[in-house]
Amino acid sequence: MRTISRRGFLAGIAAGAACGGCATAGRMSSARRPNILFIMSDDHAAHAISAYDGRLIQTPHLDRLAKEGCLFTHVFATNAICTPSRASILTGQYSHVNGVPVFNKLDPAKITVAHRMRQAGYYTALIGKWHLGSDPQGFDHWEIFPGQGVYFDPVLYTDEGSKKYVGEHATDVVTRLTIEQLRSRPKDKPFFMMMQHKAPHRPWQPALRHQAVWRQKTIPEPATLFDDYATRTDALREQKQSVAHDLTRQDVKEDVPAGLAGRDRTRWLYQRYMQDYLGCIQGIDESVGLVLDELDAQGLAENTVVIYTSDQGFFLGDHGLYDKRFMYEESLKMPFLLRWPRGVRAGTRQEAMAINCDFAPTFLALAGAEVPAEMQGVSLTPLLGGTIPSDWRKSMYYRYYHDPGDHNTARHYGVRTETHKLIFFDKKEQWECYDLGKDPEELRNIYGDPAAQPAVAALKAELFRLKKQLGDDDRYADPREWPKESSYVKPPAARAPKP
């Protein structure tokens, strides 16, 4: 646990801020606390942002955040699935501590970072996807989708009632409502605003203007689309999240052309999946551009920390898969872009290892508020100068519980270090180990290799050290111990229409 005082943080930033455009130490110490605009999408893999990888799509507005701020390359979800990652972001805690290991409801009595930001004097607001079962707490204003929400004619509700936005697309509605909040917020205090998109979550339905463009495109295939899973454990062979076998007609929106079989059929499915997925991303990129324009128009850009992330990554045909859940890189990795002209040099790249539990401590540190000991993450503010403190974390712990679950993804836990990854599929007691330096695509499981045994032993020791340090006592390993109330329970019909 590391806490950092506001004074210490600002001094650190100033010391690392040699850039001409950044404030001097004197100005920093008297500077107003920054606004925070946290933008999160759902299931957006980093390799579908051109600032990370330009092969699939160009995202000029997202790239602007990287060009004018900091691009983080190693930010990881601790449980790569929607509801648990959202709970970790709000609480700064792992799933086994915050009580949200699967699709279960967040205890509404739980004190989250929203309460603490409000207590610190911030105006707090949340628009869009919540998906934590209970109503949001600690926000001065919120308007959210019930459960997952829908793409077209979306319903959103507040504590006063619900409203159906007929004829509109979810991404456009969330953008507009956020801009309205940016305009109507109280101007006498800083704001902490969360804009949380439904897109690009399955069933990948872009706005028609983006769908029309992307249906004409041919998307490059990933190198591992036809991964044969050699050397891997049973988990990859038994999953039901493959492009070849598990995409439904609802996913691809039309019948597979007659006569297509084998790899040609898989290739067609991949194209249909990715055309719509990337169409959704184009909508997100447009949304980010509009809110950045609004910050410019209000003269807020200089001292507003804008963060863009997603609740986890996603397989874009990588290893022949869609969806997330597995600890492999494409799913584990979260995009994370942070722009703050007053405190961060433009074009910074940060390779330090971060996790979703770090977000809440980061918000609090930016607000000059204390990070409570109950939070298991640490503030990322010491990284904003672009350097890495010598005592920064060099490994992270991961655990996925949802088994039995939607895609028959075997439950597992593991450790990722700067050079290796060790995954334990505990139900069958099977292991996978990867040398990420030599094998970044994670195709060769070296767990049984004689030459790898010193590395495997060290990784096992690190895995169980982290597990113990984080207090993971296996309390949710058995599905009978999962909390019972679902995060899908919110019935919009029970809400009166908004006046």
Q: Count interface residues toward Ca ion (CB under 5 A).
A: 4
**Of these, 9, 34, 43, 224, which contacts Ca ion (CB under 5 A)?**
43
The DSSP secondary structure of 419-461, one letter per residue, reads SEEEEEETTTTEEEEEETTT-TT-----TT-GGGHHHHHHHHH
Which one, 70 or 102, has the nearer CB to Ca ion?
A: 102
Compute the least distance from the CB of residue 43 to Ca ion, in Å: 4
Which one, 69 or 128, has the nearer CB to Ca ion?
A: 128
Q: How far apart are CA 252 and CA 110, in angstroms?
A: 39
Neighbouring C-alpha atoms within 13 Å toward the C-beta of 187:
5
Which one, 68 or 311, has the nearer CB to Ca ion?
A: 311
Binding pattern to Ca ion, positions 64-83, x when CB under 5 A? ------------------x-
The DSSP secondary structure of 454-495, one letter per residue, reads HHHHHHHHHHHHHHHHTT---TTSSGGGS--SBTT---GGGS
Compute the least distance from the CB of residue 205 to Ca ion, in Å: 16
Which one, 42 or 107, has the nearer CB to Ca ion?
A: 42
Helices of type H across 370-419: none
Which one, 43 or 358, has the nearer CB to Ca ion?
A: 43
Compute the least distance from the CB of residue 83 to Ca ion, in Å: 8
Q: How far apart are CA 499 and CA 492, in angstroms?
A: 15
Which one, 201 or 345, has the nearer CB to Ca ion?
A: 201
Compute the least distance from the CB of residue 187 to Ca ion, in Å: 34
Which one, 82 or 269, has the nearer CB to Ca ion?
A: 82
Which one, 311 or 442, has the nearer CB to Ca ion?
A: 311
Q: Which span sits near Ca ion by CB under 5 A: 39-47, 117-125, 224-232, 380-388?
A: 39-47
Which amino acid type is present at position 111?
I
354 makes contact with Ca ion (CB under 5 A): no
Tell which residue, 329, 375, 372, has the closest CA to residue 353: 329
Compute the least distance from the CB of residue 20 to Ca ion, in Å: 39
Other CB atoms within 10 Å distance of the CB of residue 164: 15
**Of these, 63, 107, 285, 311, which contacts Ca ion (CB under 5 A)?**
311
C-beta pairs of 213-221 under 8 Å, 24+ apart in sequence: 213/279, 213/282, 214/275, 214/276, 214/278, 214/279, 214/282, 215/275, 215/279, 217/275, 217/278, 218/271, 219/56, 219/270, 219/271, 219/274, 219/275, 219/278, 220/55, 220/56, 221/267, 221/270, 221/317
Compute the least distance from the CB of residue 42 to Ca ion, in Å: 4
**Of these, 42, 286, 330, 403, which contacts Ca ion (CB under 5 A)?**
42
Residue nearest to Ca ion (CB): 82
Task: Give the interface with Ca ion as residue ranges (CB under 5 A).
Answer: 42-43, 82, 311
